[in-house]
Amino acid sequence: MAAAGKGGAELTRRFGKLSRISTKKGIADLVTDADIAAEAAILKTIRSAFPDHAVLAEESGAAGKETASRWIIDPLDGTTNYAHGLRIYCVSIAFASADEVLVGVILSPPLEELFIAVKGCGATLNGKPIRVTDARAVAKSLLVTGFPHNPGPNVEPMIRRFRRCLEASRGVRRLGSAALDICYVACGRFDAFWEQNLNPWDTAAGFRIALEAGATVTDYDNRPFTLENKSLLVTNGHIHDEMLSLLDIRNEEDPQ
């Protein structure tokens, strides 16, 4: 919590005052001076308490000794939003032991919302327990999704899945922060979230928060989700099978 707070403070201090925006990772995959400063503040806090733990951070990569204890950090999830002055972004920090995520902390500085989950202890938003919705059909659900920075040849399948879910539901939103999307399913603002080509720092903390809030989390083929999966489906559980069917386009005729 302390690390997330210090990272969030750096983001708040720099919001709307960026001195550098880099496209070195891709034209739509931005890095700002705020990402770098927030990550430095987070790492300093964690390493002061756990100097022997390994770290996987979005900007600096993997570091530390070979150990079962690992911190997985995204200092700014929603960088493109942040760079454009859109206040939909967060800090995401997870702790894993032997590749099992045990703790997830996600802080939304603009909304002052702190999501926390510890394995077996439930999930909270600002200290109050959260739970997924009870919606029993996609037709009565609000969905959220995301698209990778560089979709490449996957763009057409993604659009087809988007169309199917849009036609079947009450609506689909695209907020630009996978970590917040997952949290919003966990606390009942959305009924399901799906996305592909995510990285461990995008999903680790949200994965634990969603599970502790009662969500079902798999890949598109209904296999238990791991940090190495390249597709992610998070639902309230009741509509999981229906969402899997909508995302399965293998037998759909490709429209020309």
pLDDT at 23: 55
* Average pLDDT of the segment spanning 184-190: 98
Do 185 and 192 form a contact (C-beta atoms < 8 A)? yes
Q: What is the CATH number of domain 138-247?
A: 3.40.190.80
Tens-digit pLDDT profile for residues 129-156 = 999 999 999 999 999 999 987 777 778 9
pLDDT at 193 (0 to 100): 98
Q: Model confidence at 256, in pLDDT bands (50, 70, 90)? A: very low
Measured CA to CA in angstroms, residue 222 lies from 39, 106, 190, 237, 239 at distances of 33, 25, 20, 12, 13
Could you tell me the pLDDT band of residue 162, with boundaries at 50, 70 and 90? very high
Instruction: Please determine, for residue 164, whether its predicted confidence score (pLDDT) is greater than 80.
Output: yes
Average pLDDT of the chain is 92
Structure confidence at residue 21 as a pLDDT band (50, 70, 90): low
Q: With contact defined as beta carbons under 8 Å apart, do 76 and 42 qualify?
A: no
Could you give phi then psi for residue 114, rounded to 5 degrees? -120, 115
For the whole prediction, is pTM greater than 0.75?
yes
Q: Considering only 182-186, 204-208, 248-252, which range has the smallest mean pLDDT? A: 248-252
Q: What is the DSSP string of 171-187?
A: EEE--S-HHHHHHHHHT
pLDDT band (50, 70, 90) for residue 12: very high
| Per-residue confidence (pLDDT) for residue 17, from 0 to 100 | 85
For residue 60, the model assigns a pLDDT of 75
Q: Which numeric CATH code is attached to 2-128?
A: 3.30.540.10
Residue type, 104: G
Domain ranges of the chain: 2-128, 138-247
> Which pLDDT value is given to residue 24?
55
> CA–CA separation, 226 vs 238, rounded Å?
21
- Find the helix or strand (DSSP H, E) in which 204 lies: helix 200-212
Strand (E) or helix (H) holding 105: strand 100-108
Residue 64 confidence (pLDDT): 67
Q: Which residues contact 201 (CB under 8 A, 6 or more apart)?
A: 56, 57, 58, 72, 73, 74, 77, 92
